[in-house]
Amino acid sequence: MKPVAIFRHYPTEGPGYFATFLDRRSIPWRLVAIDAGAPVPADPGAFSGLAFMGGPMSVNDDLPWISPALALVRAAVERNIPVLGHCLGGQLIAKALGGSVGRNPVKEIGWGEVSVADSATARAWFGDVKRFLSFHWHGETFSLPPGAERILSSPHCANQAYALGKHLGMQCHVEMTADMVREWGAQGADEIAAALASPAVQTAEAMRTGLDGKVADLNAVADRLYTQWTAGLAT
C-alpha cells in the first residue's frame, strides 16, 4: 500500500494518536514536515490518502506552502484520494473545495462537548455516538464547502466537522494524546490568559483534570473516525 501523507505545519502539532492508529493497523505513513521546510508534493498519486494536521497560522495567511497545499487537496479529491483535516487541516480542505474561513464568534481552547448530527452520513462516521468531549484550540472556523454535510457541531462553533464522500474535515482535535494536551497548555499560557473571557476557554490546569480518562474516551471516538476514513484509502 502507498503511504498516507501526514502534513505537519507546526512542531508541536504532529499526528499524535492518528500515527498510533495507523501503526497499530500496519498502515504505512510518511510525515511531510512543512514547518521544517519540506515542500508540498505536486502529485497526490504517490499516497493512499492525505492527512493535514493543525497549526497556529491561518489558511488566509500569505504563506508559501498554502497555495500548493490547496492545489494538492483539489487534485486528490478529483482523483478520489481521501483527504482528512484536523483543525487548520479541516479549514485548509474547506477552503480548497470552495468554502471560506473566518473568525469564530469566540475562541475555543480546551475540552468541550460536541454533538453528532442525526443523519445517515454522521452515523456512518460515528456509529452510535451521539455526543462526546473533544479537545479544541481555535479562533477561526470554516464554512461548509459545496456538497459537504455537517456531521458535528458544538454550542460555540456550528461547524465542527463535515463529510464529503470519503473526505473528512474537522475543526476539533480528535488526535490528542495526554502529552500533547500538557505541552499545548504549557506553551499556550499567554494565549489562554488573553482569552479567558471566552466561555469556551479553559485554564491549562482545567485541561489536565481527569486527563487520562478524557484522552482514552477521545481515542475511542478517533478509532471510529479513522477506521471509516482508512477504509477509503486508495490502493
What are the angstrom distances between the C-alpha of 72 and each of 42, 52, 56, 79, 102? 6, 11, 21, 11, 22
Give per-residue pLDDT as tens, 186-232. 999 999 999 999 999 999 999 999 999 999 999 999 999 999 999 99
How many C-beta neighbours within 10 Å does residue 36 have? 9
Give per-residue pLDDT as tens, 42-90. 999 999 999 999 999 999 999 999 999 999 999 999 999 999 999 999 9
pTM: 0.97
Whether residue 39 is predicted with pLDDT greater than 90 in this model: the reply is yes
Average pLDDT over residues 148-175: 98
* CATH code of domain 4-230: 3.40.50.880
What are the angstrom distances between the C-alpha of 187 and each of 41, 106, 210, 214? 30, 20, 20, 20
C-beta separation of 45 from 79 below 8 A:
yes
Q: Which residues contact 184 (CB under 8 A, 6 or more apart)?
A: 12, 137
Q: Where are the domains of the chain?
A: 4-230
Q: Give CA–CA dist 164/224, Å, rounded.
A: 17
pLDDT at 235: 81
| DSSP 8-state assignment for residue 10 | S
C-beta separation of 134 from 93 below 8 A:
no
Q: Give CA–CA dist 85/51, Å, rounded.
A: 6
Q: Give CA–CA dist 172/154, Å, rounded.
A: 10
pLDDT at 15: 98
Catalytic residues: 87, 173, 175
SS3 (DSSP) at 109 = strand
Q: How far is CA 233 from the centre of its chain?
A: 17
pLDDT at 30: 98
Give per-residue pLDDT as tens, 122-132. 999 999 999 99
Give per-residue pLDDT as tens, 132-145. 999 999 999 999 99
